[in-house]
Amino acid sequence: MTSAVHMAAMGLAISVVAPALVLMTRRGVAWQRVPAPPLLVLPAFVALHAVVTVAGHAVTAFFPWLALHAALFAGAVWFWLPVLVGERGAALRSVYLFLAGPALDLSAIYLIIVGDVAGGLAMIVAMLPIGLAAVAVTWRWITDEERRAW
């Protein structure tokens, strides 16, 4: 798999597939029982994402590569829990997502710096749904506040 395709797939798994999995399984899986404090989840996932991006770029053996990516996907599911599950306020969800986007892009910037420009840019583009989710959550928060004011 070329680096650009691999990085795009990795970005889409984090930004589209993981939240879709949480949303589709909310009725059958007790996600609210999984501890997911945002102040722990966000830095832990950013660190995991960085490690997998850097190490995954260097690892060529299949099973270590697969283990890294499975851990990343599990982490991505955990990353989305503060946004999609529970009764956290819209302000917290909005700030969480707006902080997550640029923080997760740092790994892609590393790839660009070391010469994998196509892979880094593919990852950044594939993770744009996180920014779109941040805008959607913020817009909903604004309109809900506006409704309550009237």
Q: Which tens digit of pLDDT belongs to each residue from 16-73?
A: 999 999 999 999 999 999 999 999 999 999 999 999 998 877 777 888 889 999 999 9
Residue type, 69: H
Residue type, 110: Y
**DSSP secondary structure string, 105-140?**
HHHHHHHHHTT-HHHHHHHHHHTHHHHHHHHHHHHH
Q: Which tens digit of pLDDT belongs to each residue from 63-108?
A: 888 999 999 999 999 999 999 998 888 999 999 999 999 999 999 9
Return the axis-axis angle of helices 62-84 and 38-58, rounded to nearest 10°: 160
Domain ranges, residue 103: 4-149
Rg (CA), the chain: 16
Tell me the mean pLDDT in the region 126-139.
Answer: 96
Counting the structural domains of the chain, the total is: 1
Cα angle value 116/43/53 (rounded, 5°): 20
pLDDT the model gives residue 73 = 97
